[in-house]
Structure 1
């Protein structure tokens, strides 16, 4: 397939699906990863994360800032390391995962990843619709009703579909320029929010225990980078192989780290004087209530735009994941199917369900465990220098090099399953103290109480796979291609 048929240029519909990008169609630079992850993290959903650190985890502002720096930069450095597979193999993350789990064994991680994507998209879409409803109420004085709710959902989804449907090149362009615009608006809003901080209360808060800092880092990592770990390769697959891996890791870490540290730190400051934000079911309304009335319009525009930046990335990845699962449609149609599901989810949670954030956040907490288990296995395989066979990746029949045993690569699939079980032993999913969905036998331990079941799952997945599958992949699996090379992911990251 030639560059002219893939149409990977701004404003044109990207026709490439999940098939690997050949070397002669690679373009771009490492800085694109900076703008990609900056765009994904400028939404106001970062503020409640910071509020939780102070209100519920007992940290002071200096500890909260330290947690924000380590958790944000560290987790997105991991995203950067995982995105190197996209540069090496030229395909989306879950498509490359076929080489590790087998053509059939990869279905489990892919399905979980897709469910997680749709879940976060529904949360983002619903939150953005509430922001748009509030904006219309201020400008035109109209009250929320069923028709207006549906219209607001459709407007946000149409914006998402326009960007995600066009594809990679348009997304890269939008990420840079729209992020600058919405980022400036966010800075203005943040400046007014800082003016509401009760500095006496902030400075009077005593430091929390070191264990709280460790748990806080895990909490921030789980709520930020870990959620994007299975999508990094989706945006690096068009990059030339010659780009040093170190630059991708640094660009990813700083692209997400800069906005997240600012938002999380501000959320911590706000919560020091008022714990309302940490427990608010609607963070958009809670933050709006802290601002002077005349600031509501720029704030709600910034909120809507920031949520859109995150949502179009998630939707793009979800479309690729659906194709990897076996949906036999062109990539733009896969995105269309995804936004229909997103719309139905928004209708349910805004017009039918009485509670939205509680149950859905609980569901996504459970999904973090199998996603983390997948990350652990993928990291070990990447460190051992995995090379990808582009023909075998797309061959889902028994003749594929990645068919293994009945379509399953048993070391990877078993490690993933064991890691999920162990991680769930330390996991508790609940919407309140009385409404417990699931609680593992060790959920009341320190690790469980501090929500580190996902971290245990990642460690166990990596350990089991490393012990069982000891033979390093030192010989390239694919025929030599222009610009290809061997060597481990860690070696690449250090170049």
Structure 2
């Protein structure tokens, strides 16, 4: 296992350990998105009022917009050789980055829990041990796979992409045998607020990958084209998510009473009984395993980054690494067990509220990396609170806070609706505000801060054959 289990965490990946091609991003993100939670996300557009025709178009638009932002983060991986969130230190400071990091960790726990609810149901049915046992078993398998690390994660993506693609073709055929597609798409009455809801649902799905997407491209060789990394990531993520969401939207429109609230049993019911039912339960669990491993691995990276900002960057022992993953598993499982009976409404609110916290971070990170620093970061300074980036960057933190507050008047969730929502006919445009406002403010605040921008020859990761592991 020594050559399989990953040894690195938040340290720079040296050139000698780089491997793979940009195509690996396509298979990983295709596999991560061909799964039941994406199906539920697509169904939510119909559940909350949109017809099937405009749901599909809204979901596609959101996937493309959010996927482009997410893929821009992915393109940073080969250049820097670092996990995604540690690069936030260049904007927020070595310790100031803990502010968005804390929220990222909450995101990982939430996605871990929501995915475990559905996958746990599948495992419970497959093993005949019930939902609770299924949730716990699935969480344990997830933690183990994440602990093994990068190579296994990409292997899971390749396997899940192939298996789930075949399964979704089969499920699509079975769904169309039971319903009239032309009738489902006949209603084309346009309702702008619910159309925007569909856009927001899929955009939030894509944007939520942003805080960890570069974790899975950082081992690519430094010479890997940023354009290739962008397009392979975007195409895999958009194809997988739109495929899943289309199935969910059509299923919810065709059989709302049978599908909504019974997603797992409905999908399995599309197949014949016996062996095929078991195969579909397995497919549901496999699809969720891929993305849940991403969430667990990302949570581990974010926790280590947060702690190292205050304690210094130290070598992480195998025992310490295992404790991080065990903690994520325990907390995520507890949340899943507590929330499994109110999953659908809670998940919709979680997705939309989550978007509030990550669009400002995304905007600041991308403006800084591409427009201000011009893809040049001082890698050693990312670990030094007394270095170029400092411990805290008040400007960036203030812009981030303004970006959060600016969204609130436009936000729509079950527990809070902003005052400017009604004049817009109920449309939620908070995520657009969360991208545009902090992007503009950060550009104005940081564009003349030249001391933070290293010379071209110090802005790349070291090329040593080996580097300290942490």
Matched, 1:158 2:128: no
Matched, 1:394 2:383: yes
SS in 1 for 2:10: coil
Alpha carbons of structure 1 residues 394 and 382: separation in structure 2 relative to 1, 3 Å: same
In the alignment, the residues of structure 2 paired with residue 359 and residue 54 of structure 1 have an alpha-carbon distance, to the nearest angstrom, of: 16
In the alignment, the residues of structure 2 paired with residue 121 and residue 220 of structure 1 have an alpha-carbon distance, to the nearest angstrom, of: 18
> What does residue 453 of structure 1 align with?
430
| Distance apart, 1:369 and its partner CA | 0.5
SS in 2 for 1:438: coil
SS in 1 for 2:238: helix
In the alignment, the residues of structure 1 paired with residue 84 and residue 461 of structure 2 have an alpha-carbon distance, to the nearest angstrom, of: 21
| Distance apart, 1:446 and its partner CA | 2.3
Alpha carbons of structure 1 residues 207 and 185: separation in structure 2 relative to 1, 3 Å: same
With normalisation by structure 1, the TM-score equals: 0.83
| Distance apart, 1:441 and its partner CA | 2.3
Runs (4+) of structure 1 exceeding 4 A deviation are 209-215, 289-292, 327-330, 472-475, 480-484
> What does residue 102 of structure 1 align with?
93
In the alignment, the residues of structure 2 paired with residue 480 and residue 100 of structure 1 have an alpha-carbon distance, to the nearest angstrom, of: 14
> What does residue 455 of structure 2 align with?
476
Match of 1:383 among 370, 384, 389: 370
| Distance apart, 1:214 and its partner CA | 4.8
| Distance apart, 1:174 and its partner CA | 2.2
Q: Is the contact between residue 75 and residue 253 of structure 1 (CA under 8 Å) also seen in structure 2?
A: no
In the alignment, the residues of structure 2 paired with residue 466 and residue 310 of structure 1 have an alpha-carbon distance, to the nearest angstrom, of: 33
The equivalences for 1:230-241 within 5 A come to 230-241=211-222
SS in 1 for 2:416: strand
In the alignment, the residues of structure 1 paired with residue 459 and residue 396 of structure 2 have an alpha-carbon distance, to the nearest angstrom, of: 26
Q: Is the contact between residue 36 and residue 118 of structure 2 (CA under 8 Å) also seen in structure 1?
A: no
> What does residue 78 of structure 1 align with?
69
With normalisation by structure 2, the TM-score equals: 0.87
Matched, 1:336 2:336: no
Q: Is the contact between residue 143 and residue 326 of structure 2 (CA under 8 Å) also seen in structure 1?
A: yes
> What does residue 468 of structure 2 align with?
none
Match of 2:263 among 273, 276, 283: 283
Alpha carbons of structure 1 residues 25 and 187: separation in structure 2 relative to 1, 3 Å: same
Aligned residue-pair number: 449
Matched, 1:221 2:203: yes
List per-residue Cα deviations over 1:12-66 (Å, max 9, x = no partner). 21111201112332221101111121121011222233333345343443x4443
The 10-residue stretch of structure 1 (103-112 or 381-390) with the greater mean CA deviation from structure 2: 381-390
In the alignment, the residues of structure 2 paired with residue 117 and residue 478 of structure 1 have an alpha-carbon distance, to the nearest angstrom, of: 35
> What does residue 408 of structure 1 align with?
392
| Distance apart, 1:100 and its partner CA | 0.8
SS in 1 for 2:342: coil
Alpha carbons of structure 1 residues 480 and 382: separation in structure 2 relative to 1, 3 Å: closer
In the alignment, the residues of structure 1 paired with residue 72 and residue 103 of structure 2 have an alpha-carbon distance, to the nearest angstrom, of: 21
The equivalences for 1:417-432 within 5 A come to 417-430=401-414
Q: Is the contact between residue 32 and residue 161 of structure 2 (CA under 8 Å) also seen in structure 1?
A: no
> What does residue 439 of structure 2 align with?
462
Alpha carbons of structure 1 residues 230 and 193: separation in structure 2 relative to 1, 3 Å: same
SS in 1 for 2:413: strand
Alpha carbons of structure 1 residues 265 and 428: separation in structure 2 relative to 1, 3 Å: closer
Alpha carbons of structure 1 residues 14 and 203: separation in structure 2 relative to 1, 3 Å: closer
Matched, 1:46 2:28: no
List per-residue Cα deviations over 1:237-294 (Å, max 9, x = no partner). 111221111111110111112222222222232233333367x234223434555444
| Distance apart, 1:335 and its partner CA | 2.1
Alpha carbons of structure 1 residues 423 and 482: separation in structure 2 relative to 1, 3 Å: closer
Match of 1:300 among 269, 273, 281: 281
> What does residue 256 of structure 1 align with?
237
SS in 1 for 2:75: helix
> What does residue 359 of structure 2 align with?
372
List per-residue Cα deviations over 1:443-467 (Å, max 9, x = no partner). 33428x3332122112111111112
Alpha carbons of structure 1 residues 116 and 245: separation in structure 2 relative to 1, 3 Å: same
Structure 2 gap segments, 5+ residues each: 309-313, 464-470
> What does residue 79 of structure 2 align with?
88
In the alignment, the residues of structure 2 paired with residue 202 and residue 356 of structure 1 have an alpha-carbon distance, to the nearest angstrom, of: 26
The equivalences for 1:53-68 within 5 A come to 53-61=45-53, 63-68=54-59
Q: Is the contact between residue 142 and residue 296 of structure 2 (CA under 8 Å) also seen in structure 1?
A: yes
- The two structures, once aligned, show a CA RMSD in angstroms of 2.7
In the alignment, the residues of structure 2 paired with residue 231 and residue 181 of structure 1 have an alpha-carbon distance, to the nearest angstrom, of: 24
Q: Is the contact between residue 38 and residue 244 of structure 2 (CA under 8 Å) also seen in structure 1?
A: yes
Alpha carbons of structure 1 residues 414 and 174: separation in structure 2 relative to 1, 3 Å: same
| Distance apart, 1:129 and its partner CA | 0.9
> What does residue 298 of structure 2 align with?
317
